[in-house]
Amino acid sequence: MRLLSPSLRLLGVVLFSTAAVAACSSSDSTEPDVSLAGSYTLASFEAVGGPVLTPPTATGSLVLTATRYKATLSVPNVPPVDSGTYTASGTVFTMTSDVLPIQSVGTFTLTGTQLITDLTTLGTRVKSTWSKQ
């Protein structure tokens, strides 16, 4: 199995933030902002250029409130827990981790109960898919 570099490990923390940021916005600009508050499970994780990881290799949970997130992740060489705050405008968002001194910018798409995030942090892009429980 290919191990993730230190910068990708840091991105794992940010990955969770991506989904959390979406809590204030809808992916459809014709709809009013939609709350995504609730519990999610990780369906896939991809550091672009690396393999797409799915359960049981990569597992995780995400809990969203209106302005905060808490994520737990089991992905090789990725920090296991992250939390923080976010702001959102449309489908673009900025998040700040409480765990590491980083900010990330990305986008999201919401289709039914599936939340897809695409985040760039420290020059590396990470995509993830979450399923609402």
Q: Does 29 map to a domain?
A: yes
Average pLDDT of every residue of the chain: 77
- Residue 108 pLDDT: 82
Query: Torsion-angle region of residue 13: left (phi > 0), alpha (psi -120 to 50) or beta?
Result: alpha
How many Å apart are CA 78 and CA 57, to the nearest integer? 12
Q: Which domain holds residue 114?
A: 6-132
- Give the pLDDT band (50/70/90) at residue 132: very high
In this structure, what are the phi and psi dihedrals at residue 52, rounded to the nearest 5 degrees?
A: -85, 120
The more confident residue out of 114 and 86 is 114
In the chain, the number of structural domains is: 1
Is 59 inside any structural domain? yes
Give 6: exposed, middle or buried? Use CB within 10 Å, 0-12, 13-18, 19+: exposed
Query: Does 118 fall in a domain?
Result: yes
Determine how β-strand 38-47 pairs with β-strand 124-132.
antiparallel
Does some domain include residue 61? Answer: yes
Task: Read off the CATH number of the domain in which 26 is found.
Answer: 2.40.128.20
Is the pLDDT confidence value at 127 over 80? yes
In a domain, 84, yes or no: yes
Q: Between 110 and 9, where is the model more confident?
A: 110
1 part of a folded domain: no
Residue with token string 């600009």: 29
* pLDDT tens, position by position, 20-73: 334 334 444 334 466 777 899 999 999 989 999 999 999 999 988 888 989 899
Nearest to 18 by CA among 125, 121, 117: 117
Kindly report the CA angle at 35 between 29 and 40, in degrees rounded to 5?
Answer: 115
Query: Is the model's pLDDT at 11 over the cut of 60?
Result: no
